[in-house]
Amino acid sequence: MLQWVYERARASGARDVSIATDDAAIVAAASAFGAVARMTSAAHASGTDRLAELATIERWPEADIVVNVQGDEPLIPPAIIRQVASLLESDPQAAIATLATPVESLAEFLDPNAVKVVADAKGRALYFSRAPIPWGRDGAPAGLTSQRLFAGARRHIGIYAYRVGALQRLAALAPSELEKTEKLEQLRALDNGLVIRIADAAEKPGPDVNTVADLERVARQMGV
């Protein structure tokens, strides 16, 4: 699975692709298929912290753009890796860029595991939430469970591009109250005034892998 993710990242046209981990077995597996892998601390609470350490190890310039691709995304389209990097590059005032996709069902809209996002007219994130936002007041005349409107709602896709300087600043900040409430790390950035640029993904990402059953299903889809 690691190799599948790596190959998709390479296909995006990125100048460099590195794997950051705290597991020697992953370093060995990556080396076996020719990838560059770096050992990082086992104490990191998030992928953002691990990426910030990698930026320090590699001495990446503060103005460089780095994209964080999770290792459980073997079906991630290379096009959206390129897209999120280009999106950040196109907005000099943004510190971070990320992507979204339209919510497709009422069940998805109401699902707390589907993170929703709202943005301003310039495509800059206003808020991320596990709650159903934006909430159509007139679609729920009998209370929360009677909601029937979700047109215009967008689900957040967890891929991020960072300017290296902003990445290191973010990793140095303490978790914010909103972040702790929603359990969403990107709220730390918004709480501290970092601009997050967001756009709809050019391609819908495939499913990530959280269980052995997920991996078997993805392997079948890939014909392996």
pLDDT of 145 over the 80 cut: no
Q: What is the reported pLDDT for 86?
A: 98
- Count of C-beta atoms within a 10 Å radius of residue 2: 18
pLDDT, tens digit, 9 for 90 and up, residues 27-58: 999 999 999 999 999 998 888 999 999 999 99
Mean pLDDT of the chain: 93
Q: What is the reported pLDDT for 18?
A: 94
pLDDT of 161 over the 90 cut: yes
% of the chain surpassing 70 pLDDT: 100
Residue whose pair of structure tokens reads 């196109």 in the numeric block: 90
Q: What is the reported pLDDT for 173?
A: 95
pLDDT of 218 over the 80 cut: no
pLDDT, tens digit, 9 for 90 and up, residues 123-142: 999 999 999 999 988 888 88
CA distance 110 to 113: 9
pLDDT of 82 over the 80 cut: yes
Task: Please choose, from the candidates 54, 88, 57, 112, the residue with its C-alpha nearest in 3D space to the C-alpha of residue 197.
Answer: 88
Tell me the pLDDT band of 211, cut-offs 50, 70 and 90.
confident
Tokens matching residue 14:
């990125």
Task: State which fold the 62-205 domain adopts.
Answer: Spore Coat Polysaccharide Biosynthesis Protein SpsA; Chain A (3.90.550)
CA distance 96 to 194: 8
Domain boundaries, the chain: 62-205
The per-residue DSSP string of 41-94 comes to -TT-SSHHHHHHHHHHHHT--TT-EEEE--TT-TT--HHHHHHHHHHHHT-TT-
Residue 182 amino acid letter = E
Tell me the pLDDT band of 143, cut-offs 50, 70 and 90.
confident
